[in-house]
Amino acid sequence: MRPHPAAPAGVPSASTGARAPHVEQGGKHVLYPNHYAWYVLVSTLDLVMTNTVIHHFNAREVNTIADRAIALFGFWGLIGLKFATVVVVVLICEYVGRRRHATGRRVAAWAIAISAIPVIIAAAQVMVLKPKSRPLERQILEESGMLHALPPERR
């Protein structure tokens, strides 16, 4: 069995114990692509949940830096801040991982776990709190003047 091609030079492969081939610094592969995919997913869910609790549940962003980004640039500011942090975390994982492969993997795993905490908290808020706005279907029907088209029990 061959060692994983993205493992840094001199790092034993987890499956075979063999040394990985030399990987150029300018190589095309990242060290932890699955971790990074999960990290991007969790970061995106954080944006979605943040937007949901702010706009539908009248909540505030508790992260001071993110709250300031929202105040200055709107939700686009938060998106920019979030994905700038994603880039920084990936760069840190790559830097650490090329020197100590297992440590870089742990950093990536911890980044996923820590980023999932606000998503879980926001999901709990969504399940417990009442939304401040009308359901979207009712809002659309009211604004279009078609509310009367609903059966009386649904108005």
83-100 tens-digit pLDDT: 999 999 999 999 999 999
pLDDT of residue 33: 97
Give alpha helix (H) positions in 5-131: 33-56, 64-73, 75-99, 101-128
135 located within any domain: yes
Range of the domain at 47: 33-154
Burial class (CB in 10 A: 0-12, 13-18, 19+), 74: exposed
108 located within any domain: yes
Domain count, the chain: 1
Q: How sure is the predictor about 18, in pLDDT bands with cuts at 50, 70 and 90?
A: very low
pLDDT of residue 67: 95
One-letter amino acid of 44 = T
54-77 tens-digit pLDDT: 988 888 999 999 999 999 999 999
Instruction: Give yes or no for residue 22 having a pLDDT over 50.
Output: no
17 located within any domain: no
109 located within any domain: yes
Instruction: Give yes or no for residue 121 having a pLDDT over 50.
Output: yes
Residue 39 — φ and ψ, nearest 5°?
A: -65, -40
CA 84/CA 107 separation, integer angstroms: 17
pTM for the predicted model, two decimal places: 0.69
pLDDT of residue 21: 45
110 located within any domain: yes
7 located within any domain: no
16 located within any domain: no
Q: What angle do CA 52, 54, 60 make, to 5 degrees?
A: 145
pLDDT of residue 55: 85
24 located within any domain: no
